[in-house]
């Protein structure tokens, strides 16, 4: 049995009074953080414990914040490496300052407890939250839409399970962002092209160095991220929709992809490594929604190994083509890799790793929801 924590974003449905209460609480929280920061600088104190001793009562009295929000503000200042002014759009809630029951939120504010706030959610969030309780959340202000969101952290319990359907291997890479044993292929060409364009644009903006160009630079980063997020949503959706009931999705452990990206860093046009983490997250989420299991394996040699005969050699791989020097098997290199990812998982199943004794490269089953 394993535990996994997921964050579910929900819009808070507030009347004017509640909205203002939360807005004022956020402002007070930021002001408190800035005050604490000053005290921390003045007394050269950085530790949470010492800061709390030094300023808890002063801050609580000055801002009329609920006790645990003062503690949170102190924690935030203490954890903050840079001594920048706090102008954040969020504050954290814990078991004392918030509760979640029957799809309604109660939370502390500087105007007292706000009770039974409804949340605006769709079927997806409803499923994720159904029957759940939570002891941790974050309130986030959406500047653009002028509304508040709550990010509720909920835990799920998963069990290791043998799949009843197909086992689908998924290879992730730079040339193809994803390639599955079900022959779904998502080329990385477009992403690389986009990145090349942005690098050029960025260089010219940096060369300008004006105030306006700096603003544009900042916006460009956000735009690129949103673009990639859309791509990842689309890829994960197609992979999960393509899977049937009882199927299992096998991915390689993210740390190996990070290593590969590090090696390829000289090519600056490659997809960011955060994008692969995000894709993994999306696949996990969507798989969970559908009741599918996701597991991770150690992918060593998956690119050099022949998925037909098992022969491992570096020269088997010839850029994007795989040609086995032993048996002559020919395939797309990323497809061959996805077959190997699936095989690694099936081998560990056959070895009984899933039941008890872990061997050299154990598979790590992550999400098999029993919602």
Binding site for Zn ion (CB under 5 A): 306, 308-309, 311, 324, 326-327, 329
Measured from the CB of residue 316, what is the shortest distance to Zn ion in angstroms?
Answer: 8
Alpha helices (runs of H) in 43-96, residue ranges in sequence order: 48-63, 67-79
DSSP string, 154-181: EEEEE-----SS-EEEEEE-SSEEEEET
Which residues lie below 8 Å from residue 59, measured CB to CB, with a gap of 6+? Answer: 32, 35, 36, 65, 70, 73, 74
Beta carbons within 10 angstroms of residue 209's beta carbon: 9
Measured from the CB of residue 329, what is the shortest distance to Zn ion in angstroms?
Answer: 4
Which of 89, 309 has the CB closer to Zn ion?
309
Which of 117, 324 has the CB closer to Zn ion?
324
CB pairs under 8 A, 24+ apart, for 260-269?
A: 260/173, 260/174, 261/174, 264/174, 268/195, 268/199, 269/192, 269/195, 269/196, 269/199
Measured from the CB of residue 287, what is the shortest distance to Zn ion in angstroms?
Answer: 31
Which of 289, 308 has the CB closer to Zn ion?
308
Which of 301, 311 has the CB closer to Zn ion?
311
The three-class DSSP label of residue 119 is strand
Which of 27, 327 has the CB closer to Zn ion?
327
Measured from the CB of residue 325, what is the shortest distance to Zn ion in angstroms?
Answer: 8
Measured from the CB of residue 172, what is the shortest distance to Zn ion in angstroms?
Answer: 23
Which of 327, 370 has the CB closer to Zn ion?
327
Distance between CA 86 and CA 78 in Å, rounded?
12
Measured from the CB of residue 320, what is the shortest distance to Zn ion in angstroms?
Answer: 18
**Are 46 and 37 spatial neighbours (Cβ–Cβ below 8 Å)?**
no
**Are 157 and 236 spatial neighbours (Cβ–Cβ below 8 Å)?**
no
């Amino acid at each position: 049995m394993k535990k996994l924590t997921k964050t579910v974003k929900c819009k808070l449905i507030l009347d004017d009074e509640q909205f203002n209460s939360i807005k004022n609480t956020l402002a007070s929280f930021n002001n408190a953080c800035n005050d604490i920061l000053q005290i921390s600088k003045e007394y050269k104190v950085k530790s949470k414990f010492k800061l709390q001793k030094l300023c808890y009562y002063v801050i609580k009295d000055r801002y009329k914040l609920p006790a645990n929000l003062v503690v949170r503000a102190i924690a935030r200042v203490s954890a903050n490496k840079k001594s920048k002014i706090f102008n954040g759009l969020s504050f954290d809630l814990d078991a004392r300052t918030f509760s979640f029951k029957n799809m309604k939120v109660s939370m502390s504010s500087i105007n007292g407890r706000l009770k039974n706030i409804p949340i605006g959610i769709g079927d997806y969030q409803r499923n994720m939250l159904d029957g759940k309780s939570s002891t941790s959340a974050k309130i986030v202000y959406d500047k653009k839409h002028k509304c508040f969101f709550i990010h509720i952290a909920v835990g799920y319990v998963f069990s290791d399970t043998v799949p009843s359907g197909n086992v689908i291997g998924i290879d992730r890479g730079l040339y193809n962002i994803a390639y599955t044993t079900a022959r779904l292929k998502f080329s990385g060409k477009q992403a690389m092209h986009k990145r090349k364009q942005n690098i050029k644009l960025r260089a010219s903006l940096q060369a300008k160095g004006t105030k306006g160009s700096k603003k544009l630079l900042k916006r460009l980063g956000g735009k690129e991220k949103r673009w990639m997020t859309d791509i990842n949503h689309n890829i994960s959706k197609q992979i999960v929709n393509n899977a049937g009931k009882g199927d299992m999705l096998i991915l390689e452990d993210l740390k190996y992809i990070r290593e590969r990206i590090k090696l390829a860093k000289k090519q600056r046009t490659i997809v960011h490594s955060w994008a692969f983490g995000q894709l993994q997250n999306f696949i996990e989420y969507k798989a969970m929604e559908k009741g599918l299991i996701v597991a991770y394996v150690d992918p060593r040699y998956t690119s050099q190994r022949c998925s037909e005969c098992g022969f491992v050699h570096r020269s088997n791989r010839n850029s994007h083509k795989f040609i086995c020097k032993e048996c002559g098997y020919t395939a797309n290199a990323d497809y061959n890799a996805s077959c190997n990812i699936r095989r690694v998982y099936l081998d560990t199943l056959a070895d009984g790793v899933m039941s008890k004794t872990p061997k050299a490269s154990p598979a790590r089953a992550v999400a098999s929801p029993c919602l």
